[in-house]
Structure 1
Amino acid sequence: MEDTSSSTATSLDTAKPSLMSDPAQQITLVQPTPRLPTRLASLYKPSSKTEPSQVAIPSSNGSAQQTVMQPRHRALDTINSRKMEAEGHHSIEMPPQAPSTLPLAPPLPPKKLQSKKPSPFYDGQRQKYNEICVPLNNAALKGDWPAAEKIIRQFPEVVRSSITQNEETVLHIVSSTKHIHFAEMLVNEMNDEDLELQNGDGSTALCLAVASTVEMVDVLLRRNKGLLKIRKKGDLPFLCAVYSGDRNMVEHIYSKTDLVDLKWNYSDKTRILDSCLAFGLLDIALKILIDTREKGILTIETLVLRYLASNASAFQGQTALRRLINTISVLIPGQRLPFAHHKAIEIVRIIWKEIVQQKHEDILKQIAGDPSIKKVEGLLFTAARLGNHKFIIELLRLCPDITWEIDENKHTIFHVAVIHRQENVYNLLYELGSKKLGVVDKDGNNILHLAAILPKQNRLNIVSGAAFQMQRELIWFQEVNTMVSSVDRTKKNNAGKSPQELFTDEHIKLMEKGENWMKQTAAHSMVVAALIATIMFAVAFTLPGGNNQNNGLPIYLGKRAFAVFVITDAISLCTSSASILVFLAILTARYTEKDFLVSLPVKLMIGVSTLFISIMTMMIAFSASFFLLYEESMKWAPILVTALASLPVFLFACLQFRLLLDMIQSTFSSRYLLKNRKHMLY
């Protein structure tokens, strides 16, 4: 070896003058295969040795080539990868060129980290694999360190060898578990480089530990912080942590991540932000944006805005239950739930403040859509289509010029809101005015024509029942009708239809469905109401205990239970009779368009409500009769009967409550659906 080294050094000194003097030179780079960890002699076959990278320089007299050690260039790894696999090396022939005319070489790209694979777990020696690797695998899964230590002491190289078909080491296996002590002892038996070994999927032990516990991650990072830079198929471990969806894990990994040192590329920041938003980790995404802005490495990307524009739920405020939980959890340190909608708004503000610094034309391409790319919908119109009014508000506050921008169909955001029945976006119109609503689209439709067109089924299904869907459509049409001029109300589109004619044609099938649904509901409910009325009428003259033969008064007249029985019987009889009359009125209605707006929904709401009251009072009367008859002899019987009698009432309430709630909401709340209740924009 000493002779070879001295010969190489001498060759280097001799080769330098020859390289500069002879332009017709050849440089041959010998590319080595990646160096693998040491293999177990008892388990693995020896592999062929490879030489380091060399530069062979022929002398000017044609003598034997002289070698010079050279580093491997990353570009050769991509261009000649197939040839390298077949021959074990590759070469590049440089064309003759005078040294004085050589251009300055561009700077080399950053060196790509090479994938480090563990030694194969066996080469045809299945028996030894079953005797060593399988027990070690089982010990790692169970956290049995004494059993694993016994094998490691006998075969030390097994800690850096793969013991599964997926090329996983013992550390890969235990990193997916919660056996912290096993991992700590195992890491002490390994070198720092051993922690960087990757399995068949390209995952290091850290990429698997992010789906385990924070303590497991700390065990690995205390030994080798460089694991944070080793990617799994292009993904940083931080992105793997985001995929796990564990908020605490993501925060912990991010606290140990240095954005500047890692030099996240453009794709990293975009994918990590998108993934954080997709998994609801808005607070982490906001922290990344703030940190990158402070460190001067913020990259503005409208893809993040596109995701937020299409995710209206991220901007929704908290419910009363959620606010109560946050109020209680504030007493417990570290347990307060973040206000997600506030985080989403802050993210939009940070990105939008940077975008509005650009030219107006560039802003329109990113927000309103690029006319040259018709298949890509503008962010502004995406938010309007999905009803994300808070997203739109943030955009309009900093750039009000985009309010009346139109898309490829010549629709503003308010036209889009009417098409898709998004009342929250449409209500912004009350603060901006309706002076520009007279614009028509390619089909000659104004905004009232768009209100007359039947929306998609998913928007109709917001309320249950075809009759209430028809009512919601009438409310929309009438409200838009008040916002347009008298000319637009009678203006015809390219098909020769006025808004009212178009509304009738579009909703004729929905009216038929609403009529059939109302009649079927009324008919079935009237049968139940008639049965209740018949029974309660008969019970009124057949009192429990009978009458006194002397004076004809009821025997239990002085008891409280008897008063309850009489009152509830009368209420049940009256309400069931009223229910019959209301359902009869529904069956004999004319079913015009205007009937669906108030008359029919109110009648159905009254009919169902009175039917529910009649059922409830009937069961109360039934229970009261048992208290009268069996209160003294069997005291447990009235209580049991009362409990059983509440079951029909409970079932009816559960099964029909949603329908009753929709009736009330559609009849009364819908009147305030399209009204300016508060200043949302300014």
Structure 2
Amino acid sequence: MVNSDLFRVKEKVTVQGGKGSVVPRNFVSIGSCFPAVASPNYAAASPKSPHIMETHVTATANILPPPNGPHIMGTSAAAPPNCPRITETRVTATANILPITPHANLVRYVPLYQAALKGDWERAEKFLQEQQKEICQHYGPNSALIYDYRSIVTARITNASETALHIAAGARRVHFVEELVKLMHREDLELKNKDDNTALCFAAASGITQIAKVMVAKNPKLPGIRGNKGATPLYVATLLGHRDMVWYLYSASKNFLTEHDLVKLLIATVTTNLFNVALEILSKCPPLAIVRDENEETALHILAQKPSAFASGCNFGIWKRFLYSFPYIKQVYDTKVMHFQAIEVVKVLWHEVLKLDDKNMSALLREPSRPLFVAAELGIAEFIAVLLRDYPDLLWKVNSDNQSIFHTAVAHHQEKIFILIHDIGALKDLITSYVDGNNNNMLHLAGNLAPSSRLNTISGAALQMQREHQWFKEVEKVMQPLYMEMKNSEGKTPRTLFTEKHANLVKEGEKWMKDTASSCMIVATLIATVVFAAAFTVPGGNYDDKGIPVFLEVRSFIVFAISDALALFSSITSVLMFLSILTSRYAAEDFLETLPRRMVLGLTTLFVSIATMVIAFSATLFIVLRSRLDWIAIPIAILACVPVTMFALLQFPLFMDIIHSTHGFGIFYRPGKHMLY
């Protein structure tokens, strides 16, 4: 079946045999009585014939209007005598004479699909040449003169109606795309798949900027052609966070973007942490800061829900906290830049919000969510600091439960928000007096168990209980004595509520402590047993008459003796520490300092005993083997470091967590510089 709409007449034709019979100038209809009569330079059309472009045809043919649409008949089709004859017809045809059927022709294009997926252009060229060879075999060698590759490179080769360009772009094959685009016309790049996506949408999703540049250079209209659900390629790249691609397509799409597109783009850049692009958009069109999207949210609402975009919202571990102080590392530098840009976006957005009247500002801060309280719940201190510095009245805002942002911070255990209460001076006495509908004050909220999302960031039930007790003590410091014994609507004081809510956690903490102490005590006991026996079976033995060690004058023996003694003393100390943990009373207050300190001392002495035991063993081997194997010292020293290093690495995170939470600055450390005022 041939689509006659694809055939376009370039010049007028001469009609013989019928008065006034002419062929329309815009389209040439190929009827059912079109015989295969052609000059030697013309290859007759058939279901297997190639795509013909800019083909000059001289033909004598009988033509009838097609009864059921245009199609090609065989050479045996007879023409009625009244059929007008067209002679010396000069036609330029652009036709896909290779019909695309959903299933029959897909197998034919498997080699091209595989080549596009792997980026194998040589294989693709071979496939195209084979198609040309097939045409020559079917229609003669001269048919190759009018054959080109366009019908193949624009063919739909998947069930989703994707072309080879779609596949290569999605597979990030730059060279393949470059070669493929050379064989295509400008409008061919606008072909869409079943989801209405062009190949540029695939390139945008791939994130390879060079692929997009090649396509846009061929057809500058591509950035404005929308894909699935009206999304532009720029929006697709933004949703996937491809920064370089976004910058390129943003510069190439400026003439195609509507205000609605810019709002969606601004929201998407904030969502995917592309804050430098968001700042660029806001600098060009500041009013977008207060425009709502289809979910009635502004960029400020979205940013309040992104703790990872701010330093205070990132729960860094020990190593990450340490590395964060070294901005010369690229990854750390990029993270710091992102955090800085996020704060700048908040400032720009808030500056535009402040231009609103009180009614509209209140509406924006209340619906569909409350960004101030969302940020407090997620612990984004920088976000809240920016808002409060420029609009201090927000300090007195309360949510539906009559709770301030500090009450919200306590309820969700966000210490970086809570410590801001020390920046407001005596006003904190008024804030802490707020009670909710159940007559719970701030200390009652501290008495509740922390949300699991916050509790699970701490290793071990014992340390979790310690953190809960620290929270209660810290909130207690800012409360007036009157409120410490205040009862809620259930008749419970803050201390009573704390005890009830944490009863299960105390049991879990006791079990964790006992299990850890029992395992470590077994190891310490074995070490004490071994090194005690080694003291009486010294390497080389003793002189029988005096009982003096044979190698007493050798330096390695002195190392052995000292190491063995240290291993014995430290292992016994470790056993005693772990034994004291097992026999503790396990009251809630014990988790605050007593039990963690004993655990730290026990782990420290256990590490020392393991290290000195390994040193004593290494010294013994060296003493025995040194006379014949002088080189043995180096491999022994290297191997001795392995178990000691493994123990240190495996236990170091737990050890540092205990040290930090018990003896360090703690989570409520307040820097000298105030964040608010």
CA displacement at 1:430 relative to structure 2 = 0.3
CA distance in 2: counterparts of 1:128 and 1:492, whole angstroms: 79
Quick one: which of 253, 257, 263 aligns to 2:253? Answer: 257
CA distance in 1: counterparts of 2:150 and 2:524, whole angstroms: 84
Partner of 1:143: 121
Change (3 A) 1:540 1:186: closer
CA distance in 2: counterparts of 1:461 and 1:577, whole angstroms: 34
Name the amino acid aligned to 1:398. D
CA distance in 2: counterparts of 1:441 and 1:476, whole angstroms: 20
Q: Does 1:235 align with 2:252?
A: no
CA distance in 1: counterparts of 2:341 and 2:481, whole angstroms: 44
Name the amino acid aligned to 2:99. Y
Q: Does 1:280 align with 2:256?
A: no
Name the amino acid aligned to 1:193. E
Q: Does 1:545 align with 2:540?
A: yes
Name the amino acid aligned to 2:378. L
CA distance in 2: counterparts of 1:513 and 1:337, whole angstroms: 37
CA displacement at 1:235 relative to structure 2 = 0.5
Quick one: which of 53, 74, 99 aligns to 1:122? Answer: 99
User: Does structure 1 retain, via aligned residues, the 8 Å contact 2:201–2:233?
Assistant: yes
CA distance in 2: counterparts of 1:617 and 1:586, whole angstroms: 24
Quick one: which of 284, 296, 301 aligns to 1:291? Answer: 284
Change (3 A) 1:595 1:175: closer
CA distance in 2: counterparts of 1:297 and 1:540, whole angstroms: 79
CA displacement at 1:244 relative to structure 2 = 4.1
Three-state SS of the structure 2 residue aligned to 1:403 is: helix
CA distance in 1: counterparts of 2:623 and 2:515, whole angstroms: 40
| 397-406 vs 191-200, greater mean Cα deviation | 191-200
Q: Does 1:409 align with 2:401?
A: yes
User: Does structure 1 retain, via aligned residues, the 8 Å contact 2:203–2:212?
Assistant: yes
Quick one: which of 310, 314, 319 aligns to 1:315? Answer: 310
What are the within-5 Å matches in structure 2 for residues 532-571 of structure 1? Answer: 532-549=527-544, 551-571=546-566
User: Does structure 2 retain, via aligned residues, the 8 Å contact 1:121–1:163?
Assistant: no
Partner of 1:430: 422
CA displacement at 1:410 relative to structure 2 = 1.0
Q: Does 1:344 align with 2:342?
A: yes
What are the within-5 Å matches in structure 2 for residues 622-637 of structure 1? Answer: 622-637=617-632
Q: Deviations 1:281-337 (Å, cap 9, x if unpaired)?
A: 2222222222333xx77664453222221211211189664665646799xxxx978
Partner of 1:42: 46
Partner of 1:360: 358
CA distance in 2: counterparts of 1:361 and 1:125, whole angstroms: 58
User: Does structure 1 retain, via aligned residues, the 8 Å contact 2:578–2:602?
Assistant: yes
Three-state SS of the structure 1 residue aligned to 2:195 is: coil
CA distance in 1: counterparts of 2:591 and 2:414, whole angstroms: 21
CA distance in 2: counterparts of 1:420 and 1:508, whole angstroms: 19
**Identical columns (%):** 38
Quick one: which of 192, 195, 205 aligns to 1:201? Answer: 195
Partner of 2:489: 494
CA distance in 1: counterparts of 2:514 and 2:288, whole angstroms: 65
Change (3 A) 1:656 1:122: same
Name the amino acid aligned to 2:256. L
CA distance in 1: counterparts of 2:238 and 2:244, whole angstroms: 10
Change (3 A) 1:340 1:506: same
When the two chains are superposed, the root-mean-square deviation of aligned CA atoms in Å is: 3.2
CA displacement at 1:645 relative to structure 2 = 3.5
Name the amino acid aligned to 1:412. S
Q: Does 1:607 align with 2:602?
A: yes
Name the amino acid aligned to 1:553. I
CA distance in 1: counterparts of 2:621 and 2:646, whole angstroms: 22
Change (3 A) 1:229 1:156: same
| 206-215 vs 401-410, greater mean Cα deviation | 206-215
CA distance in 2: counterparts of 1:464 and 1:125, whole angstroms: 57
Q: Does 1:510 align with 2:505?
A: yes
Name the amino acid aligned to 1:291. K
CA distance in 1: counterparts of 2:199 and 2:278, whole angstroms: 25
Three-state SS of the structure 2 residue aligned to 1:231 is: coil
User: Does structure 2 retain, via aligned residues, the 8 Å contact 1:120–1:161?
Assistant: no
Q: Does 1:524 align with 2:519?
A: yes
Q: Deviations 1:496-530 (Å, cap 9, x if unpaired)?
A: 01111111111122122222222232233222222
Unpaired stretches in structure 1, ≥5 consecutive residues: 1-34, 51-117, 371-375
CA displacement at 1:378 relative to structure 2 = 1.1
Change (3 A) 1:180 1:537: closer
Name the amino acid aligned to 1:631. R
| 210-219 vs 230-239, greater mean Cα deviation | 210-219
CA displacement at 1:549 relative to structure 2 = 4.0
CA distance in 2: counterparts of 1:550 and 1:563, whole angstroms: 21
User: Does structure 2 retain, via aligned residues, the 8 Å contact 1:44–1:123?
Assistant: no
CA distance in 2: counterparts of 1:212 and 1:419, whole angstroms: 42
Partner of 1:673: 668
CA distance in 2: counterparts of 1:505 and 1:120, whole angstroms: 81
CA displacement at 1:456 relative to structure 2 = 1.8
User: Does structure 2 retain, via aligned residues, the 8 Å contact 1:137–1:170?
Assistant: yes
Q: Does 1:306 align with 2:301?
A: yes
CA distance in 1: counterparts of 2:456 and 2:413, whole angstroms: 12
Partner of 1:94: none
Partner of 2:35: none
Unpaired stretches in structure 2, ≥5 consecutive residues: 1-26, 31-43, 50-65, 71-94, 133-145, 313-319
User: Does structure 2 retain, via aligned residues, the 8 Å contact 1:177–1:212?
Assistant: no
Name the amino acid aligned to 2:396. W
CA displacement at 1:254 relative to structure 2 = 1.8
Name the amino acid aligned to 1:143. W
Partner of 1:13: none
User: Does structure 2 retain, via aligned residues, the 8 Å contact 1:575–1:610?
Assistant: yes
Quick one: which of 175, 185, 195 aligns to 1:191? Answer: 185
User: Does structure 1 retain, via aligned residues, the 8 Å contact 2:439–2:487?
Assistant: yes
User: Does structure 1 retain, via aligned residues, the 8 Å contact 2:290–2:349?
Assistant: no
Q: Does 1:398 align with 2:402?
A: no
Change (3 A) 1:352 1:635: same
Q: Does 1:597 align with 2:592?
A: yes
Partner of 1:450: 445
Three-state SS of the structure 1 residue aligned to 2:474 is: helix
Three-state SS of the structure 2 residue aligned to 1:427 is: helix
User: Does structure 2 retain, via aligned residues, the 8 Å contact 1:579–1:606?
Assistant: yes
Name the amino acid aligned to 1:303. T
Partner of 1:80: none
CA distance in 2: counterparts of 1:182 and 1:611, whole angstroms: 62
CA displacement at 1:195 relative to structure 2 = 2.1
CA distance in 2: counterparts of 1:526 and 1:338, whole angstroms: 44
CA distance in 2: counterparts of 1:232 and 1:44, whole angstroms: 32
Partner of 2:158: 164
User: Does structure 2 retain, via aligned residues, the 8 Å contact 1:451–1:480?
Assistant: yes
CA distance in 1: counterparts of 2:475 and 2:147, whole angstroms: 83
CA distance in 1: counterparts of 2:396 and 2:548, whole angstroms: 80
Three-state SS of the structure 1 residue aligned to 2:413 is: coil
CA distance in 2: counterparts of 1:659 and 1:273, whole angstroms: 42
Q: TM-score when scaled to structure 2?
A: 0.76
User: Does structure 2 retain, via aligned residues, the 8 Å contact 1:427–1:676?
Assistant: no
Partner of 2:11: none
Change (3 A) 1:594 1:216: closer
Change (3 A) 1:667 1:41: farther
CA distance in 2: counterparts of 1:525 and 1:238, whole angstroms: 58
Q: Does 1:215 align with 2:213?
A: no
Change (3 A) 1:126 1:463: closer
Three-state SS of the structure 1 residue aligned to 2:284 is: helix
